[in-house]
């Protein structure tokens, strides 16, 4: 019995040890797998310059935050999906962080406002007469260094007055003019005028009349200056004064009244808080842009080379241009007018071997190209289009083209051509502005391609019907001749002769219908498929510039963080004109220091942001122009199609009515 008990105990011990061994082996295996996964992720994410935080958010989104539960294959597939959607995830993550930051800031601002309200209540018992000009400035400076940058400054002494509304307007030299009741107030000492502006913004609603009187006395001692002469370009972002941290740059969330352009609002372009404008090149008017003109391109003419005669009505310009001249015009537009809708070139190849037919197609779509150009408000002002349509001396025109080839493409928004001398920019998220347009383009192109294929099929079927009807006509003609083999059969002979003629006329009508379908359906949708491509080009440019800006902004932020941590102001690359006492202040104010350090690099990053924001705005602006313009043009196209179909149907109706009348007379004719 003891031996049996011993044997049982040994078995239990062995089983227990075996279980422990398996557990240990399983733990070791899991640990080994985890280390393997961590090494794999470290190599793929960190070395691949992806964000670990965004990857963690991605795993949470997929409900796979515990990598221990994922096999190596599942982890590999998950990482592959992450890389493919990284750009979108990065944008969404940035927006999420911005929302959280904004929420925290709003909460902080609410607490600050509550604190200020209590301070104002405590202050109400004091007499306003005791407040001096020196007190106002001192209070403003104190508030400047105790509040967040860009937030509205409120003083315990003052609360915002509904009766006094100052505004800021940026001049061509990036100086800010304070306006009160429509008058410009710009002191020689900018810090003083900025502080005054801040004090006005935070004026108390109580004792408004007395305080307004005090401020008017203060304002009367400030020397008024004239706005500096407008310069053609805005080359750098505005300076931020040490004495005030109120945001006055393009990132300000308050829109200048200058931005509220009624013509753009009427066009449906809503200027929200992320929109700002930059002084750019203004294109002057010319003879073409100041009149409503029609340009007519003749059928192609052949000599040594094919050329087209172009007539501009009512200006009376008549010129001859080759196909490569049209190509030059479009290339010049695309090169010198960034972000503008440029009509597409001719399709690279047309189906079929008929050269004459190809030339006719070319003529139709060159006409469509030039109509787009003279209808676009900016391209119509172009000196290149002007010379293209007006210059009769072809040798001079060739010289003009060569001179244009030496021009450089504008790199920055300041040098882009505009209607009014300003480029509007929209720095909002790209997801907000381009998704609907992208979906519209993708769906439109898919359906247009399908319509074109089915139109080709319809064209083939109508051609086959025409051939069949024509064969019937010839067979009936033979039957008519067969009637002549016997005497007294003239009625049948005349019947089949008339029937053969009617069938031939029917076949001819169908041939006209084939041509109409080919012109207004098959060929038309081949070209319109390409007409949305310029919008896709703008989206592409916008996305490229957005990525360039994100990378540069991320890089400079990391660099500034390192410089701030080191604390050596001499390495911050601050402009030399900054006073020494201000440099000492920067060491205790991180936000202001970040604004001041790496001045030249910051300006470069701002220019990248301007480019992205410009294309982002132009995407909506050009789409708003193109879509209704294209709709009206397509309406004219299909009205022409309808007129041709009506003409064919009318001709066919006349043919069958004539046949019926002749048969009636034949039936009553007793002489046959």
Assess whether 496 and 554 both reside in one domain: no
* Residue 48: inside a domain: yes
CB 323 within 8 A of CB 525: no
Q: Is the pLDDT score of 193 beyond 60?
A: no
Assess whether 473 and 576 both reside in one domain: no
CB 517 within 8 A of CB 637: no
Tell me what the mean pLDDT of segment 406-433 comes to: 86
* pLDDT number for residue 237: 32
What are the backbone dihedrals phi and psi of residue 554, each rounded to the nearest 5 degrees, phi first? Answer: -65, -40
d(CA 322, CA 318): 14
Q: Specify the number of domains making up the chain.
A: 5
pLDDT bin (cut points 50, 70, 90) of residue 354 is: low
| 520-544 pLDDT per residue, tens | 888 888 878 888 889 989 999 998 9
| 6-62 pLDDT per residue, tens | 555 555 656 656 666 666 666 667 777 777 777 777 777 766 667 777 877 778 777
What are the backbone dihedrals phi and psi of residue 321, each rounded to the nearest 5 degrees, phi first? Answer: -135, 145
- Domain boundary residue, one of 189, 220, 251: 220
Neighbours of 47 (CB within 10 A): 8
d(CA 159, CA 147): 15
Closest of 410, 413, 312, 310 to residue 366, by C-alpha? 310
| 125-159 pLDDT per residue, tens | 444 444 444 444 444 444 444 444 333 333 333 33
SS (H, E, C) 562-627: HHHHHCCHHHCCCCCCCCHHHHHHHCCCHHHHHHHCCHHHHHHHHHHHHHHHHHHHHHHHHHHHHH
Adjacent-strand bridge partners of 301: 307
Q: Output the DSSP codes for 414-454.
A: GGSEESSSEEEEE-S-HHHHHHHHHHHHHHHHHHHHHHHHH
Assess whether 409 and 470 both reside in one domain: no
d(CA 266, CA 263): 5
Q: Which two tokens stand for residue 127?
A: 């007499």
What are the backbone dihedrals phi and psi of residue 441, each rounded to the nearest 5 degrees, phi first? Answer: -65, -45
Q: What is the DSSP letter of 149?
A: T
Whether the bond into 80 is cis, omega within 30 of 0: no
Closest of 614, 437, 436 to residue 541, by C-alpha? 614
Output 656 or 250, whichever has higher pLDDT.
Answer: 656
573: left (phi over 0), alpha (psi -120 to 50) or beta: left
For residue 596, the enclosing domain spans 534-644
Assess whether 476 and 501 both reside in one domain: yes
Assess whether 413 and 307 both reside in one domain: yes
CB 605 within 8 A of CB 553: yes
The C-alpha R_g of the chain, in whole angstroms, comes to 39
Assess whether 540 and 515 both reside in one domain: no
Cut 0.75: pTM above it: no
* Residues in contact with 551: Cβ distance below 8 Å, sequence separation at least 6, in sequence order: none
How far apart are the two ends of the chain, measured CA to CA in Å?
A: 136
- Domain boundary residue, one of 66, 84, 102: 84
Tell me what the mean pLDDT of segment 258-286 comes to: 63
Output 616 or 138, whichever has higher pLDDT.
Answer: 616
Q: What is the DSSP letter of 482?
A: H
Assess whether 55 and 140 both reside in one domain: no
d(CA 636, CA 630): 10
Where does residue 243 rank: exposed (0-12), middle (13-18), buried (19+ CB within 10 A)?
Answer: buried
Assess whether 415 and 302 both reside in one domain: yes
* Residue 190: inside a domain: yes
- Domain boundary residue, one of 22, 57, 84: 84
Rounded (10°) angle between helices 523-531 and 599-668 = 160
d(CA 486, CA 104): 106
CB 115 within 8 A of CB 146: no
d(CA 229, CA 273): 28
* Residue 286: inside a domain: no
Assess whether 308 and 405 both reside in one domain: yes
Tell me what the mean pLDDT of segment 410-435 comes to: 84
Assess whether 664 and 527 both reside in one domain: yes
Q: Is the pLDDT score of 216 beyond 80?
A: no
């Amino acid at each position: 019995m003891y031996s049996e008990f011993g044997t049982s105990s040994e078995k239990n011990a062995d089983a227990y040890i075996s279980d422990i061994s398996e557990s240990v082996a399983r733990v070791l295996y899991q640990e080994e797998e985890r280390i393997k996964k961590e090494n794999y992720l470290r190599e793929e994410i960190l070395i691949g310059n992806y964000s670990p935080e965004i990857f963690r958010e991605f795993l949470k989104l997929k409900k796979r935050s515990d990598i221990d539960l994922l096999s190596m294959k599942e982890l590999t597939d998950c990482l592959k999906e992450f890389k493919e959607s990284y750009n979108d995830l990065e944008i969404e993550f940035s927006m999420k962080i911005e929302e959280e930051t904004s929420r925290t800031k709003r909460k902080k601002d609410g607490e600050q406002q509550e604190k200020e309200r209590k301070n104002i209540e405590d202050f109400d018992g004091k007499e306003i007469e005791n407040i001096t000009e020196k007190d106002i400035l001192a209070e403003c400076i104190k508030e400047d260094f105790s509040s967040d940058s860009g937030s509205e400054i409120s003083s315990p002494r003052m609360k915002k007055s509904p009766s006094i509304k100052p505004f800021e307007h940026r001049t061509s030299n990036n100086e800010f003019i304070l306006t009160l009741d429509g008058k410009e107030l710009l002191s020689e000492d900018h810090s003083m005028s900025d502080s005054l502006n801040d004090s006005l913004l935070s004026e108390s609603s109580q004792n408004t009349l007395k305080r307004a009187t005090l401020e008017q006395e203060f304002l009367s001692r400030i020397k008024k200056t004239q706005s500096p002469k407008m310069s053609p370009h805005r080359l750098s972002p505005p300076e931020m004064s040490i004495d005030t941290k109120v945001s006055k740059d393009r990132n300000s969330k308050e829109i200048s009244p200058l931005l509220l352009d009624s013509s753009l609002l009427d066009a449906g372009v809503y200027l929200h808080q992320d929109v700002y404008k930059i002084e750019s090149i203004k294109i002057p008017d010319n003879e073409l842009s100041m009149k409503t003109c029609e340009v007519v391109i003749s059928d192609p003419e052949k000599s040594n080379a094919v050329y087209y005669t172009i007539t501009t009505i009512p200006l009376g310009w008549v010129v001859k241009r080759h196909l490569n001249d049209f190509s030059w015009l479009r290339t010049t537009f695309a090169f010198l007018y960034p972000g503008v809708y440029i009509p597409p070139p001719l399709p690279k190849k047309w189906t079929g071997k008929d050269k004459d037919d190809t030339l006719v197609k070319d003529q139709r779509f060159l006409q469509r190209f030039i109509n787009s150009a003279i209808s676009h408000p900016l391209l119509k002002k172009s000196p290149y289009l002007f010379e293209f349509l007006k210059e009769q001396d072809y040798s001079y025109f060739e010289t003009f083209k060569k001179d244009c080839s030496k021009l450089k493409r504008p790199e920055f928004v300041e040098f882009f051509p505009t209607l009014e001398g300003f480029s509007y920019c929209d720095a909002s998220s790209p997801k907000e502005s381009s998704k609907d347009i992208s979906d519209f383009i993708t769906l439109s192109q898919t359906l247009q391609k399908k319509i074109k294929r089915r139109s080709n099929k319809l064209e083939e079927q109508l051609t086959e019907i025409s051939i069949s009807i024509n064969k019937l006509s010839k067979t009936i003609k033979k039957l008519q001749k067969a009637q002549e083999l016997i005497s007294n059969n003239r009625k049948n002979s005349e019947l089949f002769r008339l029937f053969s003629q009617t069938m031939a006329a029917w076949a001819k009508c169908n041939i006209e219908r084939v041509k109409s379908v080919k012109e207004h359906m098959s060929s038309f949708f081949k070209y319109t498929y390409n007409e949305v491509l310029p919008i896709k080009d703008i989206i592409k440019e916008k996305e490229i510039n957005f990525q360039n800006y994100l990378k540069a902004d991320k890089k400079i932020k990391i660099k500034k963080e390192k410089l701030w941590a080191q604390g050596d102001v001499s390495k911050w690359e601050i402009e030399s004109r900054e006073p020494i006492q201000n440099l000492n202040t920067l060491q205790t104010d991180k936000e202001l220091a970040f604004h001041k350090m790496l001045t030249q690099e910051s300006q470069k990053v701002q220019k990248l942001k301007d480019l992205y924001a410009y294309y982002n705005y132009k995407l909506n602006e050009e789409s708003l122009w193109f879509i209704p313009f294209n709709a009206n043009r397509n309406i004219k196209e299909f009205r022409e199609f309808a007129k041709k179909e009506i003409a064919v149907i009318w001709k066919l109706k006349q043919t069958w009515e004539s046949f019926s009348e002749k048969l009636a007379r034949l039936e009553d004719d007793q002489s046959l």
